[in-house]
Each structure stands twice: as structure tokens, then as C-alpha cells.
Amino acid sequence: MLRGFYTAASGMIAQQRKTDLLTNNMANSNTPGFKVDQSSMRAFPELLLQRMNKQTVPVDNTFTIPSSSRVGAINTGVYMQEVLPKFLQGDLQATQNKTDLALQDINPDSASTVFFSVQDKDGKVKYTRNGNFTLDGEGYLTTANGLYVLGRNGNRIHLNSADFSVDSSGRVSENGTQAGTLGIAYAANPNTLIKEGDGLFRVDNNTVLPTAPNTLFQVKQGYLERSNVDVSQTMTEMLSAYRSFEANQKVLQAYDHSMDKAVNEVGRVNG
């Protein structure tokens, strides 16, 4: 019976974590470039139950030998094995703002993808699909939270005003002069990236992704890539997770009621 407590409790914990994940997806449904998180559930290893018996051997000096018979398998619970972002291309939304840039994958069905390269305050390179950029007080192109947008040579992109243009290959021009080229990074397997907050990703050990060839992407100025969160599907999954949590809760309450009976009533001796 105690094993039943652990099994039901593990189901509640797993569904609670899934609900938290889905809630975060829903909260970022309007965040540019956000990639929806997906979870995978897995059962704990199954236990094989066997009944231990003794078998008498019909000989003069009678003796017994141990034997066993298979009862069956029992599952010991479930857990959230991993969480992976879904790097499906989001829809592009026109903003007419020259500092807004969007990446459009040429082959959206491919497992690989591309990112803008940005630099944090510690000088480390991070990657994002959120092209909601702006110009800081010194004229550098930055993200909304102050990270510097990097060019192909790894340098920051400096502009004199917001009156600039970006072509489909990422070349930035101002007053007819090229001010730099956006550093578009290529990830052959984006699932190996480590997800951070604010729509940022990084490579393990802080290594740098290679530069993406121009044949894999197009840069759209005056557009933002919307999140790839499917709101209706997320709501359905949230309701399903809640119902699963509720079912495990009822099982836990049933076990608790049975334990109460066993402790306080079954063993009671009437005087």
C-alpha cells in the first residue's frame, strides 16, 4: 500500500511540472521569437514480481529446493524525463519598425535552424530568435534587454541613427555605406543548445556556433517572428494535465482512507 502512495505522488509531481511548463508557454505566446517547450514523460523502471516457493523432491532423504513463479510486472511511478524547445518557424508579423528584424528559415522542415548572435555584459556569446532590437544611447544595436547584437566578425554593430536598411542576407547599410553584416549563427542540432531566460540560448562550455550560409535564411526588416505557441493546443494540454493531477490526487486520498481504516479500525480490540 505504501508503494501506491509513492506512485500516485509521483504522478501528481509530474503533472504539476507539466502544468508549470504549459503555463510558461502560454505566458510567452506573444513574446517574439519564443520557442515552445515540450516535455516527455517516462515511467520509472518496472519491477518484476515473483512468488518464492519450496518444492519437495520425492527421494529417500526428503529435501526441498527453492522455486519461484512469476506474478507479473508492477510500475513504480512516472517522472518528467526532459524538456526540449520546439524550433518550428513562427509566423512573421509586420511592424514597419526598422529596428525589428526577423529570421525566416529557407527550409522550415529541416531539423537545423539559425539564430541572431548577441553578447551579454560578461562578453559571452548567446543566441536568440527575438529580433525586437533597438539602438542604445551610444548607437549600438541591442536587444530589448540590453545585449549587443553582433556582426559576422564578432564586433558590435554601431549606427548613427535608426534610419538604416538590412537586406535579406543580413548586410546592414546606412546612408549608402555598409555598416556591417549581422552575425547569423547556424545550429545543425539546436536541441543541444542550453536554454536560458529571455529567449536566449547558449552552447555548452560557451563555445561559438559557426556562421550560417546565406542559402539557409532570409532577414526580414520591419518584421518580428511571433512565438510558435499554439494557444488552443496548450489550453487543451493544460486541462488534460489538470485532470491527470486530479485523478492521482483521488487515488492518494483513497490510499489515505484505507490506511486510516487499517490503523484505527481493523486492529481495534473491543472491550
Within 10 angstroms of residue 102's Cβ, the number of other Cβ atoms is 27
In this structure, the answer to whether residues 122 and 71 fall within a common structural domain is: no
Q: Is the pLDDT of residue 39 over 70?
A: yes
The DSSP annotation for 111-138 comes to: S-EEEEEEE-TTS-EEEES--BEEE-TT
**Does residue 33 contact residue 130 with C-beta atoms inside 8 Å?**
yes
Residues with Cβ within 8 Å of 130's Cβ and at least 6 positions away in sequence, in order, are: 31, 32, 33, 34, 116, 143, 144, 198, 199, 224, 225
Q: pLDDT by residue (tens digit) across 168-178? A: 999 999 988 89
- For residue 55, the model assigns a pLDDT of 67
Residue 183 lies in a domain: yes
Count the helix, strand and coil residues of the chain and give each as a percent rounded to the nearest 5: 25, 40, 35
In this structure, the answer to whether residues 95 and 214 fall within a common structural domain is: yes
Instruction: Summarize the confidence of residues 187-204 as an average pLDDT.
Output: 91
Residue 159 lies in a domain: yes
Q: Tell me the C-alpha distance between 86 and 105, whole Å.
A: 14
In this structure, the answer to whether residues 20 and 54 fall within a common structural domain is: yes
Residue 271 lies in a domain: no
In this structure, the answer to whether residues 211 and 157 fall within a common structural domain is: yes
In this structure, the answer to whether residues 13 and 74 fall within a common structural domain is: yes
Number of domains in the chain: 2
Instruction: Summarize the confidence of residues 18-28 as an average pLDDT.
Output: 95
Q: Tell me the C-alpha distance between 118 and 195, whole Å.
A: 14
In this structure, the answer to whether residues 79 and 109 fall within a common structural domain is: no
In this structure, the answer to whether residues 22 and 109 fall within a common structural domain is: no
Residue 210 lies in a domain: yes
In this structure, the answer to whether residues 92 and 216 fall within a common structural domain is: yes
In this structure, the answer to whether residues 106 and 217 fall within a common structural domain is: yes
In this structure, the answer to whether residues 149 and 221 fall within a common structural domain is: yes
Residue 146 lies in a domain: yes
In this structure, the answer to whether residues 154 and 112 fall within a common structural domain is: yes
> Comparing 57 with 166, which gets the higher pLDDT?
166
Q: pLDDT by residue (tens digit) across 65-119? A: 676 666 666 667 788 888 989 999 999 999 999 999 999 999 877 788 999 999 9
Q: Is the pLDDT of residue 155 over 70?
A: yes
What is the extent of the structural domain holding 44? Answer: 2-83+230-266
Residue 95 lies in a domain: yes
Within 10 angstroms of residue 163's Cβ, the number of other Cβ atoms is 9
Sign, CA torsion 183/154/120/189 = positive
Q: What percent of the chain is modeled with pLDDT above 90? A: 57
134 phi, psi to nearest 5 deg: -155, 175
Q: Give the largest Cα separation in the chain, rounded.
A: 108
pTM for the model stands at: 0.79
Residue 154 lies in a domain: yes
In this structure, the answer to whether residues 221 and 234 fall within a common structural domain is: no
Instruction: Summarize the confidence of residues 124-131 as an average pLDDT.
Output: 95
Residue 173 lies in a domain: yes
